[in-house]
Copies of this chain bind each other. A is one copy, B any other.
Amino acid sequence: MKLLEDRIRKDGVVKEGNVLKVDSFLNHQMDVPFFYEMGKEFKRLFEGTPINKILTIEASGIGIAIIAGLHLNVPVVFAKKSQSSNISDQVYSTVIHSYTHNCDNNVVVSKQYLHADDHVLIIDDFLANGCALEGLIDLVHQANGTVEGIGIAVEKGFQEGGDRLRAKGYRVESLAIVDSMDAKTGEIVFRSSEA
């Protein structure tokens, strides 16, 4: 999505350690009219798929998921990071490793809100190593639901998550895929969407 690539070039900040900061418009301050355009693109990409629900994870996935839900006219469920290791039998739970914070999080969804007849679009703001998405896929599978696709704002194409998920057969649509970036020059190379 050229609009997102242009915005990342304009407002993204590349830092050492393969960090791409986009918190001025994507995951701390959220540019809502811009989100509206991203949601419209998710609708275009996934229209015709029998999606009846979006699943995301707190916190930074929620904004984009809500706007995608508005365009696709479906409810959004967000998985919660649980402080407690004492997980109730009322929830599906999985463990997601966070490389950012170097810790494991228990992540839960109430069994009331994921079912065998759900056709789920998973939405998140970032895809890098894919751990968060694999956790969300696991939650859908525990409910015997179907993952119809995965919608991402920014994929770090130089990390393995996206390609591993595609190799497993999931339809992953990332609105921008960063193939390389350089903290010294600030240069960002996007994967051509025609490739």
The interface of chain A, by Cβ under 8 A from chain B, is 23-25, 28-33, 35-36, 58-59, 62-63, 66-67, 69-70, 73-78, 80, 83, 101, 109-110, 112-113
Please indicate the chain B residues that have their CB under 8 angstroms from the CB of A24 in the complex. 112-113
Q: Once the chains are docked, how many angstroms separate the CA of A110 from the CA of B24?
A: 10
Instruction: Assess the B66–A32 pair: CB atoms within 8 A.
Output: yes
Q: How many copies does the complex hold?
A: 2
Q: Once the chains are docked, how many angstroms separate the CA of A76 from the CA of B63?
A: 9
Chain B proximity of A104: nearest CB distance (Å): 13
Looking at A66, A74, A110, the one whose CB has the most chain B CB atoms below 10 A away is A66
Please indicate the chain B residues that have their CB under 8 angstroms from the CB of A69 in the complex. 30, 32
Q: Once the chains are docked, how many angstroms separate the CA of A58 from the CA of B58?
A: 8
